[in-house]
């Protein structure tokens, strides 16, 4: 199994396409963070951060005086006022103008990791069939299950490698732009009891990356299954990318239906539990993990049955 994994990783990282993807991701990350830093630097800031927080607090208080404010907006405004009071009382500045502003922005680029890993996974098995190299794999003494697992695991490891690169580069790039002076800045949030909670920013960032990685794993699994079942890179990549972008839109239309919480895409964004705003009221992290586990097992089972039972030598 170890030799199969090593072989798959050697094939993956020998391809120029792999390094182009990594380079493109770093370039996009650097460009967007530079643009955000440049916009902030060129925006005239008058007064201290305390004055800005006080002004924002006053703005939220004025909003709360509106009689037509809906429940969700009122709750959000009240939370912001609580946070602003806590920041002023404990002398904790906002993340604006610090490296954390850019680092938190960079978490949105996990979608690039998913996109690139899906492209690689979609071509992983189908590429072996189209080039005829699948026969060279099957003449090895290893079982078909081990061959399948080695390919799948190498795709997951590639996704995690991209996530690690994204994490490290985002810290270095934003540290270069903003400096590392506020690296110890805490993350403030309001819990269900209305109390402000201080969290470690790095720990929360790692948690965010790990939760977002679940979505990447699921889309990679789907792409790998389609690639294995239909032996078509175009179909595997196309359907997976369509599901990435259309799935969340579709679930928004279905949000009002109670049964929609069992849909795969309604459970992919596990970071919603960090903010306390799940897809539907009453959904929990354990529920979403259970739903995703069922889909994960079924999709991988399809891959295993098709690859081990079908005549793949033809």
Task: Tell me the whole-structure pTM to 2 decimals.
Answer: 0.86
**CA-CA distance, 129 to 150, in Å (whole number)?**
16
pLDDT of residue 298: 95
Q: For residue 102, with 0-12 CB atoms within 10 Å meaning exposed, 13-18 middle and 19 or more buried, which class applies?
A: buried
Largest Cα–Cα separation, the chain: 75
pLDDT of residue 172: 93
Q: Which residues contact 198 (CB under 8 A, 6 or more apart)?
A: 186, 187, 188
pLDDT tens for the chain, 314 residues long, are 677 888 888 888 898 999 999 999 999 999 999 998 888 888 766 678 888 888 888 988 888 888 777 887 888 888 888 999 999 988 998 888 889 999 988 988 999 999 999 999 988 887 777 776 766 666 776 777 888 888 899 999 999 999 999 999 999 999 999 888 888 899 888 877 778 888 888 888 888 899 999 999 999 999 999 988 888 888 888 998 898 888 888 888 888 888 989 999 999 988 888 777 788 888 899 999 999 999 999 999 998 888 887 665 54
In the numeric block, which tokens belong to residue 122?
């979609």
In the numeric block, which tokens belong to residue 150?
């080695």
Distance of CA 239 to the CA centre of its chain: 19
Using CA atoms, how far residue 40 sits from 30, 45, 292, in Å, is 15, 9, 39
pLDDT of residue 26: 95
Residue in the block written with tokens 């004055």: 51
**CA-CA distance, 82 to 84, in Å (whole number)?**
6
In the numeric block, which tokens belong to residue 293?
């586990």
pLDDT of residue 314: 46
The enclosing H or E element of 27 equals helix 16-42
**CA-CA distance, 258 to 252, in Å (whole number)?**
12
**CA-CA distance, 5 to 25, in Å (whole number)?**
25
Residue 12 contacts residue 153 (beta carbons within 8 Å): no
φ/ψ of residue 197, rounded to 5: -115, 135
Distance of CA 307 to the CA centre of its chain: 29
């Amino acid at each position: 199994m170890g030799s199969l994994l090593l072989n798959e990783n050697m094939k993956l990282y020998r391809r120029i396409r792999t390094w182009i993807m990594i380079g493109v991701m770093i370039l996009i990350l650097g460009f967007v963070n530079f643009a955000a830093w440049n916009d902030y630097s060129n925006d005239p800031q008058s007064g201290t951060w305390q004055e800005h927080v006080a002004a924002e607090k006053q703005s939220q208080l004025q909003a709360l005086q509106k009689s037509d404010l809906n429940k969700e907006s009122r709750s959000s405004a009240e939370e912001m006022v609580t946070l602003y009071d806590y920041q002023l009382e404990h002398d904790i500045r906002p993340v604006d103008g610090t490296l954390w502003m850019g680092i938190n922005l960079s978490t949105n680029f996990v979608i690039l990791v998913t996109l690139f890993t899906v492209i690689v996974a979609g071509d992983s098995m189908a590429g072996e069939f189209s080039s005829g190299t699948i026969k060279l794999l099957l003449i090895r003494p290893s079982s078909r299950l081990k061959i399948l697992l080695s390919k799948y695991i190498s795709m997951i490891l590639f996704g995690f490698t991209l996530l690690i690169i994204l994490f490290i580069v985002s810290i270095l790039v934003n540290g270069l732009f903003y400096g590392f002076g506020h690296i110890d800045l805490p993350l403030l949030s309001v819990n269900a009891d209305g109390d402000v909670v201080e969290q470690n920013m790095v720990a929360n960032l790692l948690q965010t990356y790990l939760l977002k990685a679940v979505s990447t794993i699921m889309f990679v699994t789907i792409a790998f299954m389609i690639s294995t079942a239909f032996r078509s890179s175009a179909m595997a990549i196309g359907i997976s990318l369509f599901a990435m972008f259309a799935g969340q839109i579709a679930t928004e239309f279905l949000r009002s239906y109670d049964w929609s919480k069992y849909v795969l895409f309604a459970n992919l964004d596990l970071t919603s539990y960090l903010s306390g705003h799940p897809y539907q009221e009453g959904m929990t992290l354990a529920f979403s993990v259970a739903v995703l586990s069922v889909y994960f097992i079924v999709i991988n089972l399809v891959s295993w049955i098709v690859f081990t039972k079908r005549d793949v030598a033809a």
